[in-house]
A and B are shown apart, each in its own frame.
Chain A
C-alpha cells in the first residue's frame, strides 16, 4: 500500500513556541490531505482538509490562525501549531487518500511544557 510519512514522531516544546509537523506522501501524489487530532482513548477528530495550492478547509471550532496548514506541493502538507500551550498537547495524525482507502502517517506526539 501507499506510504505516508509524518515527522517528527514526537516533540516537546516550551509554551509560547511554534511547532511544525510534516506529512509526506512518498509514492503517490495527494491533492488532498487531512489532519486529525486524537485525545487519549478517543477517536480521531478531523481538524482540517489540506488542499494543494489553495487554502485549507477547517472544521468548525478549529482555530485556523493557531493551526496553520500549508500544502505547497502534491507530496507535502505541513501543520504548524503556533504559540503552543499545554492544552495543545495531543497526538496529531495526517492522512492522504488514494482512489479508495486513506493512508495514515505514523502520528506526532506533541507535548507542550
Chain B
C-alpha cells in the first residue's frame, strides 16, 4: 500500500538552531513530493515541492527539503528556526501526475520552537 510516514509526532527546537522534520514514503514510480504547513484553524499552506532535478529543494520562509531516492526520504530542514515556525507540518506525496490524482498525507509533525 502507498503511504507516507512522519515518525515524529512532535519536534522541539530552540530558536536559532537548525531543525529537521523527517518524512519517508512508500510509493511506486517517481511521485511528486510536497511539504505543507498548517496554523491553528487554517487550511494548509504550500511550502515546497520536489518534481525532478536537484535533490535539494528550496521553498518558502527559508525552508528546504532534501530528496533521497535510495532512502525514499524527503526531510524538511531549516538552518535557523524562528518561534513563528511553530506549526503543524505535513509531508505529502502525489503518486500520479494528473491533477485528479489523490494526494497521500503523512500524519503530521508538530514543530515547537522555544525562544
Which residues of A are in contact with B by a Cβ distance under 8 Å? 1, 4, 6, 30-32, 34, 41-44, 46, 49, 51, 91, 93, 95, 97-107, 109
With A1-B46, A32-B100, A34-B102 as known contacts, state yes or no: A101 contacts B41, CB within 8 Å: no
Query: In the bound complex, do residue A42 and residue B43 qualify as a contact, i.e. CB atoms below 8 Å apart?
Result: no
Which residues of B are in contact with A by a Cβ distance under 8 Å? 32, 34, 36, 41-46, 49, 51, 90, 92, 94, 99-103, 105-108, 110
Query: In the bound complex, do residue A104 and residue B43 qualify as a contact, i.e. CB atoms below 8 Å apart?
Result: yes
Query: In the bound complex, do residue B43 and residue A106 qualify as a contact, i.e. CB atoms below 8 Å apart?
Result: yes
Q: A43-B106, A107-B43 are in contact. List 8 more A-B contacts (CB 8 A).
A: A42-B107, A43-B90, A44-B105, A49-B102, A51-B100, A100-B32, A104-B36, A104-B45
Query: In the bound complex, do residue A42 and residue B108 qualify as a contact, i.e. CB atoms below 8 Å apart?
Result: yes
Bound CA–CA A107/B88 (angstroms): 15
Instruction: Give the residue among B46, B99, B103, B110 with the most A Cβ atoms within 10 A.
Output: B99
Which residues of chain A come closer than 8 Å to B108, judged between CB atoms?
42-43
What DSSP secondary structure best describes chain A's contact surface?
strand
Bound CA–CA A31/B99 (angstroms): 8
- What's the minimum C-beta distance from A18 to chain B, rounded to whole angstroms? 23
Query: In the bound complex, do residue A101 and residue B49 qualify as a contact, i.e. CB atoms below 8 Å apart?
Result: yes
Instruction: Give the residue among B43, B107, B108 with the most A Cβ atoms within 10 A.
Output: B43
